[in-house]
A and B are shown apart, each in its own frame.
Chain A
Amino acid sequence: QLLLFRLTVKRPFSTSRSSVDPKEIKKFQFLAQKWWDEDGEYSALHSMNDIRVPFIRDTLLNMSSNYHLGSPLSGVKILDVGCGGGLLSEPLGRLGASVTGIDPLEDNIRTADQHKSFDPVLAQRIQYKCSSLEEIVEESMETFDVIVASEVVEHVADLEMFIKCCSQVLKVRETQLSYVLGIVVAEKILGTVPEGTHEWEKFVPPEDLERLLESNGFSVTTVNGMLYNPLWGSWSWTESTSINYAMHAVKSGAQGQSSPTDAPSETESKQHSATAGTAL
Chain B
Amino acid sequence: TSAAMAAVCCRGMLAPFGGWLLAHQRSPFRFWSRSRSTAAAAAAAPLYDVVVSGGGMVGSAMAAVLGHDIHFHDKKIALLEAGPRKEYNHVPDTYSNRVSSISPGSATLLSSFGAWDHVCSLRLKPFQRMQVWDACSEAMIVFEKDDLDDMGYIVENDVIMSALTKQLDAVADRVEVFYGSRAVGYTWPLPSHMCGTSPWVQIELADGRRLQTRLLIGADGHNSVVRKEAEIKNIEHQYDQSAVVATLHLSEATNNNVAWQRFLPTGPIALLPLSDTASSLVWSTSREHASELLTMDEESFVDSINSAFWSNVNHSDFIDTAGAMFRSALSFLRPSGSAVRQLPPSVAKVDPESRAMFPLGMGHATEYVQHRVALIGDAAHRVHPLAGQGVNLGFGDIACLAHHLSAAAFNGNDLGSLKHLLKFETERQRHNVSLIAAIDVLKRLYSTKLAPLVLLRTWGLQATNALPPVK
* B11 CB → nearest A CB, Å: 4
Q: Given A38-B417, A90-B412, A94-B412, answer yes or no on A233-B17 (Cβ-Cβ < 8 Å).
A: yes
* B194 CB → nearest A CB, Å: 6
Binds A, one of B65-73, B99-107, B225-233, B452-460: B65-73
Question: Cβ of A39 and Cβ of B11 under 8 Å apart?
Answer: yes
Q: Given A70-B74, A232-B19, answer yes or no on A91-B412 (Cβ-Cβ < 8 Å).
A: yes
Bound Cα distance A54, B74 (Å)? 19
Q: Given A92-B412, A118-B198, answer yes or no on A231-B192 (Cβ-Cβ < 8 Å).
A: no
Interface flags, B38-71, vs A, CB<8A=1, else 0: 0100100001000000000000000000000011
Pairs of residues from A and B, 10 with the lowest C-beta to C-beta distance, nearest first: A70-B73, A91-B412, A94-B412, A70-B74, A69-B73, A95-B412, A39-B11, A37-B7, A39-B14, A33-B192
* B3 CB → nearest A CB, Å: 5
A57 on the B face (CB < 8 A): yes
A237 on the B face (CB < 8 A): no
A50 on the B face (CB < 8 A): yes
- What residues on B are CB-neighbors of A215 within 8 Å? none
Bound Cα distance A30, B6 (Å)? 11
Question: Cβ of A40 and Cβ of B10 under 8 Å apart?
Answer: yes
* B300 CB → nearest A CB, Å: 60
Q: What residue of chain A has the Cβ atom nearest to residue B19's Cβ?
A: A232
Q: What residue of chain A has the Cβ atom nearest to residue B47's Cβ?
A: A120
Q: Give the residue of B42, B192, B412, B417 whose beta carbon is less than 8 angstroms from that of A53.
A: B412
A216 on the B face (CB < 8 A): no
- Could you say which of A33, A34, A95, A114 has the most chain B C-beta atoms within 10 Å of its C-beta? A33
24 CB contacts below 8 A, A to B, read A25-B195, A32-B192, A32-B194, A33-B4, A40-B7, A40-B10, A49-B411, A50-B411, A57-B410, A57-B411, A69-B73, A69-B74, A70-B71, A70-B72, A70-B73, A70-B74, A70-B75, A70-B409, A90-B414, A118-B200, A119-B47, A120-B47, A232-B19, A233-B17
B108 on the A face (CB < 8 A): no
Question: Cβ of B412 and Cβ of A57 under 8 Å apart?
Answer: yes
- What residues on B are CB-neighbors of A96 within 8 Å? 74
B377 on the A face (CB < 8 A): no
Bound Cα distance A50, B423 (Å)? 14
* A25 CB → nearest B CB, Å: 7
Question: Cβ of A72 and Cβ of B410 under 8 Å apart?
Answer: yes
- Chain A residues numbered 187-237 whose CB sits less than 8 Å from any CB in chain B: 231-233
Bound Cα distance A150, B315 (Å)? 76
* B132 CB → nearest A CB, Å: 43
A29 on the B face (CB < 8 A): yes
- Contact-size category for B: 35 or more
Q: Given A53-B412, A54-B411, A90-B412, answer yes or no on A29-B73 (Cβ-Cβ < 8 Å).
A: no
Q: Give the residue of A32, A50, A69, A90 whose beta carbon is less than 8 angstroms from that of B195.
A: A32
- Chain A residues numbered 68-104 whose CB sits less than 8 Å from any CB in chain B: 69-72, 90-96
Q: Given A70-B73, A70-B75, A232-B19, answer yes or no on A94-B192 (Cβ-Cβ < 8 Å).
A: no
- Chain B residues numbered 6-46 whose CB sits less than 8 Å from any CB in chain A: 7, 10-11, 14, 17-19, 39, 42
B289 on the A face (CB < 8 A): no
Question: Cβ of B10 and Cβ of A39 under 8 Å apart?
Answer: yes
Q: Given A39-B10, A70-B70, A70-B73, answer yes or no on A91-B413 (Cβ-Cβ < 8 Å).
A: yes
Bound Cα distance A70, B69 (Å)? 9
A36 on the B face (CB < 8 A): yes
B419 on the A face (CB < 8 A): yes
Bound Cα distance A43, B15 (Å)? 13
Bound Cα distance A95, B11 (Å)? 27
* B330 CB → nearest A CB, Å: 48
Question: Cβ of B411 and Cβ of A37 under 8 Å apart?
Answer: no
* B188 CB → nearest A CB, Å: 15
Question: Cβ of A37 and Cβ of B74 under 8 Å apart?
Answer: no
Question: Cβ of A118 and Cβ of B199 under 8 Å apart?
Answer: yes
Question: Cβ of B17 and Cβ of A232 under 8 Å apart?
Answer: yes
Question: Cβ of A231 and Cβ of B17 under 8 Å apart?
Answer: yes
Question: Cβ of A69 and Cβ of B10 under 8 Å apart?
Answer: no
Question: Cβ of B73 and Cβ of A71 under 8 Å apart?
Answer: yes
Q: What residue of chain B has the Cβ atom nearest to residue A43's Cβ?
A: B14
Question: Cβ of A33 and Cβ of B411 under 8 Å apart?
Answer: no
Question: Cβ of A114 and Cβ of B10 under 8 Å apart?
Answer: no
- What residues on A are CB-neighbors of B18 within 8 Å? 233
Bound Cα distance A91, B411 (Å)? 7
- What residues on A are CB-neighbors of B17 within 8 Å? 231-233
